[in-house]
Amino acid sequence: MGIFERRERIRKQVRADILKTARDIAREEGWQAVSIRKIADVIEYSPPILYEYFDNKDKLLETIRDEGFAYLHEELLKIKNLYRSPEKIIIEFAQVQWRFLLEQTEVFQVMFNLNGALCQSQKAYQIEFSMLNNHPIWEALAMIRPRSADAVSKTFYEWWCLTYGFLAMSVVTQPKATLTNMEPSFMESVRRFSRALA
Amino acid sequence: MGIFERRERIRKQVRADILKTARDIAREEGWQAVSIRKIADVIEYSPPILYEYFDNKDKLLETIRDEGFAYLHEELLKIKNLYRSPEKIIIEFAQVQWRFLLEQTEVFQVMFNLNGALCQSQKAYQIEFSMLNNHPIWEALAMIRPRSADAVSKTFYEWWCLTYGFLAMSVVTQPKATLTNMEPSFMESVRRFSRALA
DNA sequence: AGTATTGGTTTACAGTGTTAAATTTTTAGC
DNA sequence: GCTAAAAATTTAACACTGTAAACCAATACT
């Protein structure tokens, strides 16, 4: 009896379409151009249908943001399993971060409320700054510079703001065309940070 | 005399009132709550009057942004005239940057399109990244690490993204109450950057 | 005094997020 | 296959937004 299953499958598909459409519009016209009605137009439903899938626009953006953080975390775990050297882990992840910025710019924007994107929820940040002691980067920093847990957490915050802050400033101030030119500066900044720790 | 001057004086006052009101609303309710009508309400004019003073909302925000950059530049010049050591200039300015973030958070947000603030103009950034060779920080970096002009400009960009990026990440992810706690991390990051150059 | 200019407002348009009511479509029971 | 209940979807509406055109009243100049 696949009636429930079929419905659920369709629901999942529509939900995914909504998220994808929001990202598509944001990518091409910027987040300030993303509206409930425009999304509804593309997925060929009437606007109120979106509220069957998301409580409101903020929750929709929150989902996109969460998926962004989840993706980066997965990539980080892969790296952790590939390399032993803490410095190497930091550098490799920096490359992932940069690639993410280029390939999923619109997701990055909503992750950090940049360029008109606005998701009021602070949930993702709270999660990001709790349960640090088994965050691969936290562990890496603890290995490079063994200190108290609090001291390592402070260094973690410095790493966090350095890397994501650099990416944020780049995407905010640089036109798309010149953005790629900034990768060496980013990597150099991360290397400098890493070196200066020891 | 007096009739033109009086009119011009009033015009200047109204213009200033508009800018101040926009900042006030942004400060208390966030930039997403700043609307032409709300500003008009406060200054006790009808909405279209605002278009006598600013071409559109974007230009209004651009003005606030420009004033922010201008203020920081003035403070930087003061510091340059007070200290000789390039490291000292960088550190002192970092303190000014932090204070600016705390005291004029809403201006900082529009300067970097954070938290729903959106000014499409890229003018300020273009200015910020041109005419570098007599920017006090550029000069300081050139003194600490004498290299080609291009190499110094690259380091300047790294300083720029490190400092403003750190502030941006802090204001985006931290609640107002805990924001002040992050100053030591910020200052440590700037010192680490400065040390790692030599 | 009559006309042109200025300063300001009212009205209007197209768009926004969101909710409630109305309506259509699908399912379940006989 | 027909009807009643339930689910899915749409239409209509509200209170907003930025902005432009039309209008009005007071002032300045001839």
Quick check: A48 CB within 7 A of strand D?
yes
Question: Is the pLDDT score of A198 beyond 60?
Answer: yes
Residue A93 has pLDDT above 60, yes or no: yes
pLDDT tens digits for range A97-156: 999 999 999 999 999 999 999 999 999 999 999 989 899 999 999 999 999 999 999 999
Sign of the dihedral through C-alpha B56, B57, B62, B63? positive
Q: What is the tens place of the pLDDT at every residue in A24-59?
A: 999 999 999 999 999 999 999 999 999 999 999 999
Asked if residue B26 keeps its beta carbon closer than 7 A to nucleic acid strand D, the reply is no
* A118/B114 CB distance under 8 A: no
Of A161, A184, A185, the CB nearest to B169: A161
Backbone angles phi, psi at B114, to 5 degrees: -105, 150
Given A118, A160, A173, which is nearest B169 (Cβ)?
Answer: A160
For residue A5, the model assigns a pLDDT of 72
Residue among B125, B167, B185 whose CB faces A173 most closely: B125
Asked whether B153 and B132 are in contact (CB, 8 A), the reply is yes
Q: What residue of A is the nearest CA neighbor of B168?
A: A165
pLDDT bracket for residue A8 (50, 70, 90): confident
The CA distance from B18 to the nearest CA of chain A, in Å, is 22
CA of A196 to nearest chain B CA: how many angstroms apart?
6
Q: Give just the sign of the alpha carbon dihedral A157, A160, A162, A165.
A: negative
Enumerate the residues of chain B whose CB falls inside 8 A of the CB of residue A168.
Answer: 112, 165, 168-169, 172
A151 has a chain B CB within 8 A of its CB:
no
B172 touches chain A (CB under 8 A): yes
Question: A155 and A197 in contact (C-beta within 8 Å)?
Answer: yes
B98 CB neighbours in chain A (<8 A) are none
**Three-class secondary structure assignment of chain B:** CCHHHHHHHHHHHHHHHHHHHHHHHHHHHCHHHCCHHHHHHHHCCCHHHHHHCCCCHHHHHHHHHHHHHHHHHHHHHHHHHHCCCHHHHHHHHHHHHHHHHHHCHHHHHHHCCECCCCCCCCHHHHHHCCCHHHCHHHHHHHHHCCCCHHHHHHHHHHHHHHHHHHHHHHHHHCCHHHHHHHHHHHHHHHHHHHHHHC
* H or E stretch at A188: helix A183-197
pLDDT for res A194: 97
When pLDDT is cut at 50, 70 and 90, the band that residue A17 belongs to is very high
Alpha-carbon span A159 to B59, nearest angstrom:
35
B182 in reach of chain A (CB within 8 A): yes
Interface test with A, best of B57, B141, B157, B174 (most A CBs within 10 A): B157
Element (H, E) at A73: helix A57-82
pLDDT at position A1 is: 40
Q: Which residues contact A57 (CB under 8 A, 6 or more apart)?
A: A36
Name the residue with the least CA to C1' distance from nucleotide C10: B46
A109–chain B nearest CA distance, Å: 10
Q: Is B95 part of the contact surface with chain A (CB cutoff 8 Å)?
A: no
What DSSP string describes B92-141? Answer: HHHHHHHHHHHHTHHHHHHHTTBTT------HHHHHHTSSGGG-HHHHHH
Any strand D atom closer than 7 Å to B120 CB: no
User: Could you list the pLDDT tens digit for every one of the 198 residues in chain B?
Assistant: 456 677 888 899 999 999 999 999 999 999 999 999 999 999 999 999 999 999 999 999 999 999 999 999 999 999 999 999 999 999 999 999 999 999 999 999 999 999 999 999 999 999 999 989 899 999 999 999 999 999 999 999 999 999 999 999 999 999 999 999 999 999 999 999 999 998
Distance between CA atoms of residues B42 and B146, nearest Å: 53
Average pLDDT for A57-79: 98
